[in-house]
Amino acid sequence: MNQKETAFYSAVDTFVSQMLTEAPVAATQLGDHRFDHRLGEHSVDALRRQETQFRQALRELDAMDTSTFGPDTAVDHTVVVRLVRSFLREIEPLRTHERSPGTYVDECLGGVFLILVRDFAPFPVRMKAVLGRLREVPRVLAEAKKNLVPESVPPAWAEIAIESATQGRQLFTILVPLLALRTPWLFPQVAVAARRAAAAVDDYTRFLRSNIVPHARGDFAIGQALFEEMLHDQHLLDISADDLLATGQRLFDETQRSMDELALRLAPGKTPRDILDEAKARHPEPRDLLETYRREVARTRAFVIDHGIASIPEGESLRVEPTPGYLRGVLPYAAYMPPGPLDAKQEGIFLVTPVSPRASAQAREAKLRGHNYAKLPITTLHEGYPGHHLQLVRANRTATLPRKLASALSSLFVEGWAFYCEELMEQLGYLSDPVQPLARRKDQLWRAARIVLDVSLHTRGMTIDEAVAFLVDRVGLEPADALAEVRRYTQSPTQPMSYLIGKLEILKFIDAYKARHPAASMREMHDAILACGSLPPKLLAQRLLGD
């Protein structure tokens, strides 16, 4: 490493340290536990200070002479520059601090939940950190009330924040006090802080209903110019919004035809939806649900090893746990939580939402139908092996700090890889049930719809109701699930398109890699890819192919 490269990495260390001081929850996510007792500051002075730090970092990065940088350093420089620009974009023009009331709720709830769910330190140490964050909740929500500009808040975002706060208060009223019983010397302080945090959430909810909702008329759509800027600058995609929309529509139609052809072979006279609806009746019993997922995790891991798909890092593990009660409204089936890149313990958490014993028989059956055997293996391999868990724990082993941060820049590789793995595992024979390939294509239809809706919501004036109708009528989602999906799309422009577009970009890269390295085995190829971290595919090609 030459002197200029050393200076670059030193500057990155300084910038990231400043950034994590300002963003304690992000530090916890990364695995830096110096600030686990704090939540972020959102006062006007703090926001100005953070913007100044970002702009200063960007000036320093832009002024660097990169001509002598080696291939890895050149890629890392690109990642950091574009990551800083994405942080600045959140401040201006997106102005998230003025427009998104849910951001503050997520910080309070997520900041506490992260400490509880990740086993990175002895429980008493983590509960003491929880106590610190509970005490900060009233301050964060008070700052939120000062920052929000009612006329700039999109109505749907206000509704999302109210629902999250209403459901999430259970974290403070039920889960935290219950767990605090394990540390009786801390329990009195935790109980008081939890009550005050819950009261602050209730007060914030009332504020949103009375001060924000009646005046909320902000537009969630970011417009074509900014949408394309994000495509180019964050995901490094050389594509226009028009071409992306046309690609999504083409992929949707192609996937629908593929489903129709497969359904004709499986059950002549029945539609794909008929076949998949029948398959939903085959599912685990409530008492066996978590254990079924645990067995499936073990089966996928063994399949990856036996078929030479990719090397599995030593020391990693994947723990299947029930989704906490307060999250079950937003995680109806399953989700994955990765370990922090800086955490010594590389244990991922696979959350599975169980069936409530208090629910009616009809509600229990409806929930179990979402865990059917045609879908369950696909969900498991997507979230676990060789999907998100394997990819992210491997990315966490990358040598440089910029590479460990790459997933914060773009979701294109992370989501594309897990989606690529679904088709790969089908090709290798893992999805042996005849209905499972149809279920996989149904998921691809849904991902193609995400491309269409991502572009249409943010650049074509599509309404939330129109997008929900598209998912219900054309994809077959339940109305409540479709609404939750669309609301998320409004808050995360360019992320919904990343699943299928990411998969296609990875497939394009793999074709080029095989042409350059025809003798490489599947494991060698995948190991080379995964060793680069969560890079956007264009940077992956630059690093491995010199393109």
Mind listing the pLDDT tens digit for each residue in 4-22? 999 999 999 999 999 999 9
Residues 261-290: pLDDT tens digits?
Answer: 999 999 999 999 999 999 999 999 999 999
Q: pLDDT confidence of 367, banded at 50, 70, 90?
A: confident
The pLDDT of residue 360 is 87
Tokens (6 digits) for 60: 């320093």
Residues 142-156: pLDDT tens digits?
Answer: 999 999 999 999 999
pLDDT at residue 330 above 80? no
Tokens (6 digits) for 163: 């629902």
Cα dihedral across residues 154, 410, 326, 382: positive or negative: positive
Average pLDDT over residues 44-59: 96
pLDDT at residue 329 above 70? no
The pLDDT of residue 285 is 92
Judge whether 40 and 24 are in contact, CB under 8 Å: yes
Q: How far apart are the first and last CA of the chain?
A: 22
Q: Is 86 exposed, middle or buried (0-12, 13-18, 19+ CB in 10 A)?
A: middle
Q: What are phi and psi of 66, to 5 degrees?
A: -95, 5
Residue 321 bridge partners (DSSP) = 351
Query: Rounded to whole angstroms, how far apart are CA atoms 452 and 15?
Result: 37
Q: What is the DSSP string of 452-465?
A: HHHHHHHHS---HH
Nearest Cα neighbor of 41 from 129, 114, 111 is: 111
Average pLDDT over residues 463-481: 91
What stretches of 407-478 adopt beta strand conformation (E)?
none
Within 10 A of 305 (CB to CB), how many other CB atoms are there? 14
Phi-psi region of 14 (alpha: psi -120 to 50; beta: other; left: phi over 0): alpha
Q: pLDDT confidence of 230, banded at 50, 70, 90?
A: very high
Average pLDDT over residues 425-446: 95
Within 10 A of 227 (CB to CB), how many other CB atoms are there? 22
pTM equals: 0.95
Judge whether 176 and 187 are in contact, CB under 8 Å: no
Query: Rounded to whole angstroms, how far apart are CA atoms 74 and 237?
Result: 18
**If you search the block for the tokens 């685990």, which residue do you land on?**
284
pLDDT at residue 389 above 80? yes
Average pLDDT of the chain is: 95
Nearest Cα neighbor of 468 from 455, 449, 451 is: 449
pLDDT at residue 295 above 80? yes
* Orientation angle between helical segments 498-516 and 537-545, nearest 10 degrees: 10
The pLDDT of residue 327 is 67
Nearest Cα neighbor of 126 from 331, 334, 345, 408 is: 345
Residues 201-218: pLDDT tens digits?
Answer: 999 999 999 999 999 999
The single-letter DSSP state of residue 287 is G
Q: pLDDT confidence of 326, banded at 50, 70, 90?
A: low
Residues 400-416: pLDDT tens digits?
Answer: 999 999 999 999 999 99
Kindly provide the b/e burial profile for residues 480-495, where b requires at least 16 CB atoms within 10 angstroms of the residue's own CB.
Answer: eebbbbbbebbbebbb
CA angle 109, 110, 115 (to 5 degrees): 105
pLDDT at residue 353 above 90? no
Q: Which helix (H) or strand (E) holds 351?
A: strand 347-352
pLDDT at residue 515 above 80? yes
Q: pLDDT confidence of 358, banded at 50, 70, 90?
A: confident
Q: pLDDT confidence of 333, banded at 50, 70, 90?
A: confident
Query: Rounded to whole angstroms, how far apart are CA atoms 392 and 339?
Result: 8
Q: In the chain, where are the structural domains located?
A: 3-215
pLDDT at residue 541 above 90? yes
Judge whether 381 and 390 are in contact, CB under 8 Å: no
Q: pLDDT confidence of 355, banded at 50, 70, 90?
A: confident
Average pLDDT over residues 59-70: 96
* Orientation angle between helical segments 289-306 and 376-383, nearest 10 degrees: 60
Query: Rounded to whole angstroms, how far apart are CA atoms 530 and 12?
Result: 23
pLDDT at residue 359 above 70? yes
Within 10 A of 32 (CB to CB), how many other CB atoms are there? 19
Judge whether 158 and 212 are in contact, CB under 8 Å: yes
